[in-house]
Structures are given as C-alpha cells and as structure tokens.
C-alpha cells in the first residue's frame, strides 16, 4: 500500500465535494458570472469556472487511481494559487476564527499535494549533472 494513500483519499474527497455540489446548485455558474466575469475574465468566466471544477474532479480521480500524480498536483496547485491571489489574499490568512475566507486552507492543500507529489522530498528532482 502506498504510504500517502490516506492523503490522496482525503484530498480527493475535498476536491470532489468542493466541485460536485457547485455543479448541481448553480454555484459554478454563479462563480463564473458573479465573480470571474466581474473581475475581468468576461466573457470567459463561466468557462473558466467549469474548467476549474472539472480539473478538480479529474485530479481527484487521478489521485484515487494513483496515476499522473504530478500532473494532477501541478494543475491543482496552480488553481489553488490563483484562488489565493484572486480570492483569498485580500481576506487574510484565516478561513475562520481570526478572519474569514482566508488563504490557510489553500496553503494546507498545496503543501499536502506537494507531499503527495514528492514523497521522498525534492532530492530526486535535482539535476544529476
């Protein structure tokens, strides 16, 4: 059994629940129309919102299958970083408690994805010249 199975399952559950509910309650369309289009992505806001959510679903499936982990991780980390830049940064660090809607949750997901992608650390990605 892979040592990061629990982390992969946990992140997959988070990505799926964060995506699928929005697909059925108009949340994805609202995010595209009411947020992304309003901050300069019009007329592509809805397309981008759906692309983001579908990338989460695909990444979750790949994490569960333990396939293309680095690809899934890099795409998801990019989405999470953009979320920090466009949504969460102005709200501060805390998701709840010391603030609201902050970046701490995305930060944790990024670190967990990096741990999944590089279970032996970064020593194996260095150049072997």
**Model confidence at 90: pLDDT above 60:** yes
Q: Of residues 101 and 37, which shows the higher confidence score?
A: 37
CA distance 9 to 101: 24
CA distance 111 to 127: 23
**Model confidence at 129: pLDDT above 80:** no
**Model confidence at 63: pLDDT above 60:** yes
pLDDT by residue (tens digit) across 46-56?
A: 999 999 999 99
Which of 77, 27, 75 minimizes the C-alpha distance to 55? Answer: 75
Q: What is the pTM of this model?
A: 0.90
Instruction: Assign 3 a pLDDT band (cuts: 50, 70, 90).
Output: confident
- Quick one: tokens of 37? 């289009």
Which of 116, 81, 105, 101 minimizes the C-alpha distance to 7? Answer: 116
- Quick one: tokens of 115? 């741990």
Percent with pLDDT over 70 in the chain:
95
């Amino acid at each position: 059994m892979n040592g990061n199975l629990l982390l992969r399952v946990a992140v997959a559950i988070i990505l799926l629940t964060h995506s699928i509910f929005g697909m059925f309650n108009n949340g994805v369309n609202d995010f595209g129309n009411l947020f992304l289009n309003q901050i300069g992505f019009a007329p592509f806001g809805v397309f981008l919102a759906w692309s983001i959510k579908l990338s989460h679903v695909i990444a979750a499936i790949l994490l569960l299958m333990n396939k293309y982990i680095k690809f899934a991780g890099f795409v998801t980390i990019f989405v999470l970083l953009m979320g920090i830049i466009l949504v969460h940064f102005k709200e501060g660090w805390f998701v709840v408690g010391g603030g609201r809607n902050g970046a701490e949750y995305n930060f944790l997901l990024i670190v967990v994805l990096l741990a999944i992608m590089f279970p032996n650390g970064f020593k194996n990605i260095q150049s072997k010249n």
